[in-house]
Amino acid sequence: MKSTKLLASLGLAVLLMGGCVQRTTELKYPKDVKQPTLSQYELNVIAEKIYQNETSGKPKNLMFWSTNESFASLGIGHFIWYPAGAVKRFDETFPLMIDYYIAKKVEIPSWLHHARKTGAPWKNRAVFEAARGDQEFQQLKNLLMNTKALQTQFFFDRLHASIPEIAKHVAPQYRKHVVDNYNALVSTRGGLYPLIDYINFKGKGIKATERYNNQGWGLLQVLKNMRPVQAGPAALQEFSRTAQMILERRVRNSPPANNEKRWLPGWKARTSGYATSIL
């Protein structure tokens, strides 16, 4: 299969050969960090698993707006998309996904080309829910339903692009520990799923705004707080255990008004699935 140029913002090029996703990179990838590869089979299995995680298998849930959030959550990764003028506390990922569609030559509705620059077309949750029967809403839902594997490839590229950033960001005394734990996951059968899912579920863990009491909850925090592991089933189990611990800490640190404890059972159910390989 021919090579396809990806987002310049990610600085990646993808080469699909023999059903395996291989990559060259313009990133300065650290020599001690293992570069992951993902087969087409793995891509499809992970895509379906993430779809079930985010939607419970219900297409309606591909487009969601929480009562406690100022943004829409779209696709199998619940990409964040803010309306114009909203304060962007969290990484806004859906405009990047739109750019990814365009780079991949996916046909998208004309209104989406414009909206990727101006913001989500719904100013709040009430407008969003009222629009469920509209043509544009249905066009976007169908696009998301029909591109689950491509969305997962985007997640994988995001992981690939983020790891050098995480390795550079972590304090020097923790760097080797973080890199070793990451390498153990990448070298484990099924280890890419928890890495891909978690970074899109709870972020990289770098942004200062994604903290409570100066403690984050992203992939960096999980890798840092894991015990040292070797490749194999124990690496999956330790990642799962630590992810749950980090999310419990987030809830304890969160403002009581947020009532984040109501989400914890679902978060724990999701991360408990990391403990065994889905492949």
Does residue 65 fall inside a structural domain?
no
Give the pTM.
Answer: 0.80
pLDDT tens profile 205-256: 998 889 999 999 999 999 999 999 999 999 999 999 999 999 999 999 999 9
Spatial separation of the C-alpha atoms in residues 147 and 75, rounded to whole Å: 9
Does residue 26 fall inside a structural domain?
no
pLDDT tens profile 136-160: 999 999 999 999 999 999 999 989 8
Spatial separation of the C-alpha atoms in residues 222 and 181, rounded to whole Å: 10
Three-state DSSP state, 17: strand
- Model confidence at 1, pLDDT cuts 50, 70, 90, reads very low
Does residue 132 fall inside a structural domain?
no
Please give the angle made by the CA atoms of 112, 124 and 146, to the nearest 5 degrees: 40
Q: Long-range contacts of range 50-53, CB-CB < 8 Å, 24 or more positions apart?
A: 50/76, 50/77, 50/148, 50/152, 50/155, 50/196, 50/197, 50/200, 51/76, 51/148, 53/197, 53/201, 53/270, 53/273
Number of domains comprising the chain: 1
Question: Residue type at 86?
Answer: A
Spatial separation of the C-alpha atoms in residues 19 and 17, rounded to whole Å: 5
- Domain around 222: 170-279
Contact 152, 4 (CB under 8 A): no
Does residue 135 fall inside a structural domain?
no
Q: Extract the tokens encoding 189.
A: 């059968």
